[in-house]
Amino acid sequence: MEALARTGEAIRATTSKLEKTRLLGEYFAALDDETLPLAAVYFTARPFADRDQRKLNLGYAVIRNAVCDLAQVDEEALGESYMRHSDVGDVIEEVLQGHTHPRPTSLREVHDTFVRVYEQRTVKKKTEALRELLDRLTPREAKYIGKILTGDLRIGLRAGLVEEGIAKGFGAPLADVSWASMLTGDIGEVALLARRGGLRSARLRLMHPLQFMLASPEEDAAAIMRRVGGEAWVEDKYDGIRGQLHKEGERVVLYSRDLNEVTAAFPEVVSAAAAVPHDVLLDGELLAFKDGIVRPFFELQHRLGRKVVSAQLLTEVPVIFVAFDLLYLDGRNLLEEPLRERRRLLDELSLPSPF
């Protein structure tokens, strides 16, 4: 943990993108195979990889209670520190000065604590697990635990720089690192593949969210045509949420744009997909749809976040899945196939209602 915190501070101290990349690359290259994947994930400010559906959902109260108890200060002291720093990690570092009992702590031990926090069901137990971890760290190390738990390192490490650091550390093509990251959804696994020269062996696997292909702006229509190579497909943009549907055997899973599973909120879509006689990965849009009309987004919001959808809500806010791309079909990765071919295969599926 000490090396991660030290590297984070060095990255924070420079504004040079090249230097940030170099620092990350050197750090990653020096790690063993057990530590490397954890470090790569932690530098994305997440306790678990994207494809890992475990979410800590750790409220501020747990962090506050653990820090206040360990430092023997009240909430007001934390508030005063936050007014000075506006960063939870910096607050933790300041408040814990002289109050912890540091001893060497590996990233595996940090990971084990994150798992323990995830498994606990009460605020008290989660707080106890976090307090025990913070107590064995230096304040600077504890700062980075806070940053990871709040999802923001705030060290100038923009999205993509971790991939660049992996490419730099192991002499791998950045395009291969990015491709493997999209396929696996696990930057830690990608780091190991890069070390072993196996990035091109990364395979698309169902039942974990694939990073979404998102739109990006261009100055004008001419720039768009130059970018896409002379032919463009135009589709209506509906007022719904982006969705990714994975179907393998009898199992169907839906993921949202932020890579969270939302299967339970859309049982009618799941039931229809289960009847499709193929293994597929569909990219599309989930929409509220009633009487042949796409309904406003605020109606769809009634379905979001639900673990159980009542029969009444199914009737009041029916939903459809508008599939606009087919990325996988019966063991075949279609990501590198032309869109025209993917759409042909999608049309041939003849998906049932509510598709």
Which residues, including other chains, have CB under 8 Å from residue 47's CB and lie 6 or more apart? 41, 56, 111, 114, 148, 149
d(CA 297, CA 334): 31
Cα four-point dihedral sign 290, 293, 299, 303 = positive
d(CA 286, CA 257): 11
d(CA 330, CA 339): 18
Cβ-count burial 270-287 (b if 16+ within 10 Å, e if not): bebbeebebbbbbbbbbb
d(CA 143, CA 14): 19
Selection from 302, 244, 305, 292 nearest residue 269 by Cα: 244
d(CA 15, CA 161): 13
Which residues, including other chains, have CB under 8 Å from residue 183's CB and lie 6 or more apart? 202, 203, 204, 205, 210, 335
d(CA 152, CA 46): 8
Among residues 237, 247, 290, 307, which one is catalytic?
A: 237
Which residues, including other chains, have CB under 8 Å from residue 130's CB and lie 6 or more apart? 58, 62, 63, 66, 113, 117, 145
Give me the residue label for tokens 């501070």.
Answer: 9
Q: Where are the alpha helices (DSSP H) in 257-305?
A: 267-274, 297-300
> 237 an active-site residue?
yes
d(CA 303, CA 267): 10
d(CA 279, CA 331): 7
Helix (H, G, I), strand (E, B) or coil at 123: helix
Supply the residues annotated as catalytic. 237
